[in-house]
A and B are shown apart, each in its own frame.
Chain A
Amino acid sequence: MTSISSLIRVLLPKVQVLKEDEAREEIQRNHSSCRAKDVTRPAKLPVNFFSTRSPVIDLFRGQLDYADHLRQDSEIVLYFFYAPWCGQSIAAREEIEHVASRLSDQVLFVAVNCWWNQGKCRKQKHFFYFPVIHFYHRSFGPIEYKGPMSAVYIEKFVRRVMTPLLYISSRSKLLDFLSNYEPGVLGYFEFNASPQPPGYLTFFTSALHSLKKDYLGTIRFGVITDKHVAEEISLVHSGSVYLHRHVNTSLIYPNDIMNYTAENICKWALENREMLIRWLRPHGGKSLLLNNELKKGPALLIFIPYNPLAEIHPLLDEITKVALEYHSCNKSQAAEPVLQHLGDVDSPAFDSPVPDVHTELSETFSITKYPCCNTVVLPQWHSISRTHNVCELCINQTFGVKPNKVNVPHCNFLEIEAALDSFYLQEHTFFQVISNTIECSNFLSFYSPFSYYTACCRTVNRHFLSFISSEKTIFQTPKVAFSSHGKKDKDDTQNSIPHIEDRNCFIPDLHDNGTNITGLSCRTNKTLNLYLLDSNLFWIYAERLGASRSTHLKEFAAIVDLKEEVHYVLDQNQSLTGSTLENFIKNFSILYSPLKRHLVDDPSVHFHAQRIITEVTTNTFHDTVFSNEKNVLLLYYAQWCGFCASLNHIFIQLARLLPPDNFTVARIDITRNDLPWEFMTDRLPTILFFPHQRKEQSVKFPEDFPVNLPNLLKFILHYSSLSSSDHCTKECLHKETVLQQGHISHLEREIQKLRSEISALHQAHDKLEEQLSKARREEQRLQQQKHTLEKQHKTLQLHSEQLQSTYDQKNQELLAMAEKLQELADASENLLKENTLLRILVASKEGKLQLKDKAKEPVQSEQTLSDDNDVSVSTAATTLGEKRIDNIDTIETEHSSENRTG
């Protein structure tokens, strides 16, 4: 693969050659011969792009200098560089206006037309696309925004630019900060001595810098000023920078190895951050993002509607918790001191009542940052384990907020109790377990784990619909709703073990020991990468994977395995919650996975009984092809494939010919409808024939023969066996009659066709007759015209003869005149000659006269004088000639000047 940059080096010199080549580069369609005049018109002058009432300052003449000047007025400035013709800019305009209306008091919004070629902006900047959004935080910038062009995302980014650092003032804020799924960087700075502690500004800048690099803003930066808070994460020295990680050890910025610069801190954080679950936000241009991510291995894509501005994201929290669980497997790893210390304090409380099985797990929790979660899982008991998972989460959320926080004593108490109870109750009824855990979730009702738990109960009940509708009420009065559900379905639950993914059959294979979600990613050889997608922006991918179009709740999860070319879908009858996800992951990971390859089908196809060709989809495939007494001819096609579409008429003809009682002509659009592997095809069109008695022995129309009506008929005739008439029973006779009736109706149709053909021929014949008679009349008319023309021709000929004779006569006269003129000319020439001779004579006479006057002079000179005379005579002749030429010249110039003016 040659990259563009290497191309540049190789090809730049050749561009020069191009200009010469242009001459022969005749563009075929350039037929510019009849162009009137080379008139061009400059582009229209730019006008306002934003309305004048908008809070956005619109520099539609591209006044970049003024835009720069404006920067002094505001701490935060957003520049929106647009081109007025650009659809993307036009679409983004509204979003920007929306953000501006909310933030215009704190942020200056400046739009600059960077297209108009007279404007400063166009002259100085060179953009390859529009719009471009740049931010300035005071003098820092530009920070380019590359996220989605949607108001909420832009606003979120603006807010991040406004406050790149979060102020972590207390332990509770610290814990909030640390529990977030997004990676976080913390700096500890003592603000007691100088106005700004050393390094603070660098840290601040690195926060801004990260926005430049990581435009999705997934690394959060926080600053701690309080010594005690800092100690919680074992930061002692002012100026330390700390990168928080959930599964791996958190890191402290190595001042001794790397220079303490904004770029380095940012780079360090980006390189070392933990990505347990990643947002995928394709930017819309050509990109290998999905290719690169999905090539890493099987991926779980989770689609949820996401509002970046929302304060809380319950569902997201739930999902990240699952992700954390899934990834927390570094049991032997030492965590950073503070948290470990905190964990140590707590864990004995758990450990003591929990017997052997759980000591190991509790170790896990104490080491990782979510000790509670890992402790109480009971893998052998699928349904119970779910309730246990719930307990973990409670602990998880409130863990470490030990001192003087309202929640803490409750949580500690409850988590112990829950853990104890669940352990104690694991061999008891489900009901009791549920009732116990209800309290737990009730307590933590403002946390997401709550709904997580709800889902568990639901699967036991298998009342999906009632569940969904009752979810809200559960949220409000969880206790009641839960216990009632639990009670009602007590009996059910005992024999139906909740296995969420499989909607058809019930597979009790989760007894398997290894299906604990905690740390599963390290134990399984089918490790999943987890990804989030905002379904407000990227729902199309979900639809592509088979998300039902009917749901208005845009939640969806699918596991995509690019290598195996399969994907699995979380049952869409269930809501997307932590526990359903967990089960989904578990089911994928176990050895004999109960998950079934999802087959996407085309929901837009509706079954038409009257259609001459039956349109088959994934869902109707089996019924149409197999559960059918008829012979089936099935065409695999795709709408885009040129070779398929041009065969349409042949299949229509075929379907019209074949008796519909015995034959079905069907087709399936294979791009929109997946089929089981054994029915897949790799070329289109493919034609399969399923004979009605041996459906399993389908035959393929040979590829190297042309697809036409006779060939198709022969193919069908060859493979469709009629029941042999050797042992003819009643049934057989009946069949025969049916067949013959079919034949008769076919023949009747044929006769009909022939009749219409005959009538068409008759019509054509009539038309021809008509035209013929018309032509004959025309011929006659022409004949007559010919006659008259001939007559005219004759008279014309006579006339021309006459003319010829007069012409000859005149010609002769002219010749005579010419002769006379010639004579005259000759005469005048003679006269002229005589005249010159006379002149010479006169001159010589004069000369002689002069000679006589000078008779006194010596005789020797006489000879020379006569010579002189000769010379002067000849000069006179030449001057005469020259004069004439001059005359002609002037005439000529006059003539040509006339020409020019004319």
Chain B
Amino acid sequence: HSFSLTLIDALDTLLILGNVSEFQRVVNVLQEGVDFDIDVNASVFETNIRVVGGLLSAHLLSKKAGVEVEVGWPCSGPLLRMAEEAARKLLPAFQTPTGMPYGTVNLLHGVNPGETPVTCTAGIGTFIVEFATLSHLTGDPVFEDVARKALKALWKNRSDIGLVGNHIDVITAKWVAQDAGIGAGVDSYFEYLVKGAILLQDKELMSMFLEYNKAIKNYTKFDDWYLWVQMYKGTVSMPVFQSLEAYWPGLQSLIGDVDNAMRTFLNYYTVWKQFGGLPEFYNIPQGYTVEKREGYPLRPELIESAMYLYRATRDPTLLELGRDAVESIEKISKVDCGFATIKDLRDHRLDNRMESFFLAETVKYLYLLFDPDNFIHNDGSVFDVVVTPYGECILNAGGYIFNTEAHPIDPAALHCCRKQKEEQWEVEDLMREFYSLKRNKKFTLKRASDHGEGESVQDSVDASSENGREKRNSKKNAHSLLSCPSQSFNSKLAVLGQVFLDNT
């Protein structure tokens, strides 16, 4: 099982690196040899981001990789069916009173009796990207629905000051670990609010994120570092930087907060320069590693942020980090058959393991940082036209959304299957209008129809109250939530380490 896990995880890396033939070979291997009907306890979170995410991205990229796809692609295909099968194995975990999933599920028997109800926040809020994609491609709304329900449950249980803790009991909705921060245990929840909002053009998710962002800035941010605080009181509980937090600048740059992103990134980069990697925990006031957390398993987060920021700023400092990362990984962790986890950054002792995210993420982001012409960076100047039984689709026009395991999802693919037909007819009517000589009709723009059609009454009540809040917000700031601020004048000079204060 673990063998195919790394294979699935590293599959799209092969394509991004340009190794098409190996991609094709692996796709064949997977179709023959992967079986999810096994008596194995699997992490719901990990299975989703690695297996479901990896299979979805491989499915969407397979045509580009020269794999002969079946009729109906991208709305059907062997890899998509595998992803769906894997995702279905996870659904039992969501059968809880709160809708928040258990952390572990048995692939064969469902949730084990006596399973702990404590799940970390990220383990609850990191499904929307894969599950919504799955729902849009297969036409079965169940995946997106459970993912949304879990997100809403977390949102409902945030503290009065707007923060979420680290672990929660999915039965009683009581917070078990009340440290609030942006790193371990929480990280990808925030990431998926933003990426979900972008992928689905969803204001509600974005407004959730923006509220969190406010609270995070208010309570956890000091000198461009983000600390850990008590979620109800906002008092600092740990003045540490965790290497997992290094995704944050990248996320900020996606929504246009480039100045803040760069400032935080430069803080993190100093830690890298001190050790040649990022320790799991770094004590900020002491300027050193934290005991038992000195390792660096070649995590991708800082490089990921560098890639996003380089898109935004073209700052050579970011390439310098890339160079440093390549040197470090080569000089420190290269062993005979792979790249070893650095057990201790203080002396660069190595561990006898290589993480699967090294191939899936670290290598991918490093490559993309140095390859501005990679198809992943496509700005929309090239695209593919695909004819499906559901109509014509524009695909691969860029704007790929990476899931938290660095598996790219083409946002255009979500508009390709099933649902599209209605829209097509509407467009057809409009085009007829277009060519008619007299225009009598009035054209009213349509707001987004509410996504979850299969939601229960209770949920819709919740949603309407949330909508009310959203409306109030939108009155305050007139601009759309689904937009970035354009960059300030001084951003022209904000390169090579230069940062500017108060851009407002």
Chain A residues packing against B (C-beta within 8 Å): 1-4, 7-8, 10-12, 14-15, 17-19, 21-22, 24-29, 31, 34-43, 83-88, 90-91, 117, 127-130, 282-291, 294, 538, 540-541, 544-545, 560, 562, 565-567, 600, 611, 613, 615, 636, 638-653, 657, 670-671, 680-686, 702-711, 713-715, 717-718, 722, 725, 736, 739-740, 742-743, 746, 750, 753, 756-757, 759-761, 763-764, 767
Contacts and interface: CB of A to CB of B under 8 A. Distances in A.
A763 B72 CA distance: 9
Contact of A750 (B428, B478, B487): B428
Contacts of B46: 29, 31
B238 A717 contact: no
Given A14-B239, A34-B2, A643-B483, A718 B120 contact: no
12 contacts: A4-B285, A18-B281, A25-B166, A28-B120, A285-B270, A566-B489, A706-B201, A714-B445, A718-B442, A739-B437, A743-B435, A757-B389
A641 B492 contact: no
B357 interface: yes
A717 B327 contact: no
B296 to A, nearest CB: 12
B427 A12 contact: no
Nearest to B308: A640
B311 A640 contact: yes
B436 to A, nearest CB: 8
Given A17-B237, A40-B352, A683-B480, 10 more contacts: A7-B239, A14-B236, A87-B328, A285-B497, A544-B492, A642-B194, A642-B198, A714-B430, A714-B443, A760-B388
B177 interface: yes
A233 to B, nearest CB: 39
Given A26-B185, A35-B353, A291-B500, A757 B495 contact: no
B285 A7 contact: yes
Contact of A36 (B335, B352, B496): B352
B439 to A, nearest CB: 7
A760 B71 contact: yes
B398 interface: yes
A646 B381 contact: no
B254 A767 contact: no
Interface of B: 2, 43, 45-46, 70-72, 120, 122-123, 166-167, 176-177, 179, 184-185, 187-188, 194-195, 198-199, 201, 222-223, 236-240, 244, 253-256, 258, 263, 266-267, 270, 273-274, 276, 280-281, 283-287, 290-293, 308, 311-312, 316-317, 320, 323-324, 326-328, 331-332, 335, 340, 343, 346-353, 355, 357, 379-381, 383, 387-389, 391-392, 394-395, 397-399, 401, 411-412, 415, 423, 426-428, 430-431, 433-435, 437-439, 442-448, 474, 478-480, 482-493, 495-501
A715 B496 CA distance: 43
B479 A128 contact: no
A289 B501 CA distance: 11
A709 B383 contact: no
B223 to A, nearest CB: 6
A521 B495 CA distance: 29
Given A11-B236, A544-B492, A757 B391 contact: yes
Contact of A613 (B380, B446, B498): B380
Contacts of A130: 273
Scoring A25, A288, A725, A743 by chain B CB atoms within 10 A of each residue's CB, the highest score goes to A25
Contacts of B237: 14, 17, 21
Contacts of B435: 739-740, 742-743, 746
Contacts of B256: 638, 640-641, 684
B350 A28 contact: no
Nearest to B287: A128
A652 B383 contact: yes
Contacts of B324: 86-88
B434 A87 contact: no
Nearest to B413: A649
B201 A683 contact: no
Given A29-B46, A703-B479, A714-B444, A287 B201 contact: no
A565 B185 CA distance: 42
B495 A649 contact: no
Q: Is the interface of B mostly helix, strand, loop or mixed?
A: mixed
B198 A40 contact: no
* For the complex of A and B, 5 pairs with smallest distance between CB atoms: A645-B399, A648-B380, A743-B435, A640-B312, A649-B412
Given A615-B381, A725-B438, A638 B486 contact: yes
B134 to A, nearest CB: 18
A12 B238 CA distance: 9
Scoring A286, A642, A682 by chain B CB atoms within 10 A of each residue's CB, the highest score goes to A642
Contacts of A640: 253-254, 256, 258, 308, 311-312, 484
A713 B431 contact: yes
A40 B484 CA distance: 46
Contacts of A18: 238, 240, 281, 283, 290
Contacts of B273: 86, 88, 128-130
Nearest to A766: B71
Contacts of A710: 423, 426-427, 430, 446
A172 B45 CA distance: 78
Nearest to A725: B437
Contacts of B327: 85-87, 90
A10 B340 contact: no
B164 to A, nearest CB: 14
Given A282-B497, A725-B437, A753 B392 contact: yes
Given A540-B316, A718-B443, A4 B284 contact: yes
A136 B354 CA distance: 45
Contacts of A560: 493
Contacts of A703: 478-480, 483
Nearest to A301: B493
A683 B423 contact: no
Contacts of B428: 750
Nearest to B325: A87
B31 to A, nearest CB: 16
A645 B379 contact: yes
Nearest to B49: A29
Nearest to A37: B352
Scoring A657, A753, A760 by chain B CB atoms within 10 A of each residue's CB, the highest score goes to A760
Given A28-B187, A544-B492, A643 B380 contact: no
Contacts of A739: 435, 437
A380 B409 CA distance: 68
B208 to A, nearest CB: 16
Nearest to A128: B274
B380 A651 contact: yes
